[in-house]
Structure 1
Amino acid sequence: MSSQNQEQNMLLMNLEYGQVAIRLRPDLAPKHVARIRQLVASGFYDGVVFHRVIDGFMAQTGDPTGTGRGGSGQNIPAEFSNEPFVRGTVGMARSQHPDSADSQFFIVFDDSRFLDGDYTVVGHVVSGMEHVDKIRRGEPPMRPDKILWMQVMSADAAAIETELKAPDFNEDPLVPGEHR
Structure 2
Amino acid sequence: MRKLAIAFTLLAGPALATGLEIEIEGEGANGTITIDLLEDVAPNHVEQITALAAEGAYDGVVFHRVIDGFMAQTGDVQFGKLGGDMRQAGRGGSDKPDLAAEFSDEAFERGVVGMARAQDPDSANSQFFIMFEPGPFLNGQYTVVGKVTDGMDVVDAIKRGEGPNGAVIGQPDVMKTVTVTE
Bin for the TM-score computed over the shorter chain: 0.7 to 0.9
Matched, 1:21 2:40: no
2:119 corresponds to which of 93, 96, 101: 96
Question: How far did 1:80 drift?
Answer: 0.3
How big is the shift at 1:8?
A: 4.9
Q: Name which of 63, 67, 71 aligns with 1:50.
A: 63
Detail structure 1 runs of 4+ shifted over 3 Å in the superposition: none
Amino acid at match of 1:19: T
Once the two structures are superposed, residues 6-40 of structure 1 have per-residue CA deviations (whole angstroms, 9 ceiling, x without a partner) of 53512101112111000000111000000011000
Cα distance in 1 for partners of 2:58, 2:17 equals 17
The 5 A counterparts of 1:1-180 are: 7-16=16-25, 17-64=30-77, 65-66=79-80, 67-73=89-95, 74-138=97-161, 139-154=167-182
Q: In structure 2, what is the Cα distance between the partners aligned to 1:120 and 1:43?
A: 23
- The number of equivalent residue pairs is 149
Give the alignment's Cα RMSD to 1 decimal.
1.0
Gaps of 5+ in 2: 1-14, 81-88, 162-166
CA contact (8 A) 2:63 2:73 kept: yes
- Alignment partner, residue 4 of structure 2: none
Q: Tell me the equivalent position of 2:6.
A: none
User: How far is the alpha carbon of 1:142 from its aligned partner?
Assistant: 2.1
1:73-106 residue CA offsets vs partner (Å, 9 max, x unmatched): 3201100001000000000000000000000000
Identity %: 55
User: Which residue type is aligned with residue 108 of structure 2?
Assistant: F
**TM-score, with length taken from structure 1:** 0.80
SS across alignment from 1:122: strand
Secondary structure of residue in 2 paired with 1:7 = coil
Q: Distance in 1 between matches of 2:117 and 2:16?
A: 27
Residues 109-168 of structure 1 deviation map (CA, whole Å, 9 limit, x = unaligned): 0011110000000000000010011111111332200000011111xxxxxxxxxxxxxx
Rounded Cα–Cα distance in structure 1 between residues aligned with 2:125 and 2:141: 15
What is the alpha-carbon distance in structure 2 between the residues aligned to residue 39 and residue 8 of structure 1?
17
Q: How far apart, CA to CA, are the structure 1 residues paired with 2:158 and 2:127?
A: 16
Contact 1:8 1:152 in 2 (8 A): no
